[in-house]
């Protein structure tokens, strides 16, 4: 892992099978995860995937709103957790928010990852996690 560079890009419809296989290997509740990553007709359905040596190691499902980017889910490969991959993915989402002139990242359901979101700069506001994006 040391010295390798994480390649992050938006996912495309052609990635569907590979993303589903990745989620199947990484999560216990596959159907719940797939519902967040399912392709639908909504133009806001999008996300980022992270690859190391050609293999998917992280995915982030996003929804673009008029004033924010909503992180619907984030999954990092079990054997690569605690290696800053999640942080890199959040940094990429933040850079996307700046380019799109969105000032907040929002997480409605942290799926048990409250500590991760706190560590990467989110604050709990009401019933959701929010991070203000610096421009």
Q: Is residue 93 part of a domain?
A: yes
The segment with the largest mean pLDDT, out of 1-5, 83-87, 106-110, is 83-87
72-101 pLDDT per residue, tens: 989 999 888 888 999 999 999 999 999 999
Q: Is residue 1 part of a domain?
A: no
Q: What is the pLDDT of residue 24?
A: 84
Share of the chain above pLDDT 90, in %: 49
Share of the chain above pLDDT 70, in %: 83
- Structural domain range at position 24: 7-132
Q: Is residue 123 part of a domain?
A: yes
Q: For residue 111, is pLDDT > 80? A: no
For the segment 43-53, the average pLDDT, to the nearest whole number, is: 78
Domain of 58, CATH number, reads 3.40.630.30
- Pairing mode, strands 104-107 and 68-76: parallel
Q: Is residue 2 part of a domain?
A: no
Which of 79, 58, 46 lies closest to 6, judged by CA? 58
Q: Is residue 96 part of a domain?
A: yes
28 vs 112: CA distance, rounded Å: 13
When divided into structural domains, the chain yields a total of 1
Q: What is the pLDDT of residue 114?
A: 85
């Amino acid at each position: 892992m040391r010295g390798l560079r994480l390649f992050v890009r938006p996912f495309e419809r052609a990635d569907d099978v590979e993303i589903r296989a990745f989620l199947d290997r990484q999560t216990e509740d596959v159907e719940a995860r797939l519902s967040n990553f399912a392709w639908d007709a909504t133009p806001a359905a999008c996300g980022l995937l992270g690859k190391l040596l050609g293999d998917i190691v992280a995915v982030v499902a996003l929804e673009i709103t008029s004033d924010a980017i909503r992180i619907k889910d984030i999954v990092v490969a079990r054997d690569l957790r605690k290696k800053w991959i999640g942080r890199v993915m959040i940094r990429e989402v933040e850079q996307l928010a700046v380019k799109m002139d969105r000032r907040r990242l929002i997480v409605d359901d942290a799926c048990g990852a409250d500590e991760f979101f706190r560590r990467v700069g989110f604050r709990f506001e009401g019933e959701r996690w929010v991070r203000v994006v610096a421009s």
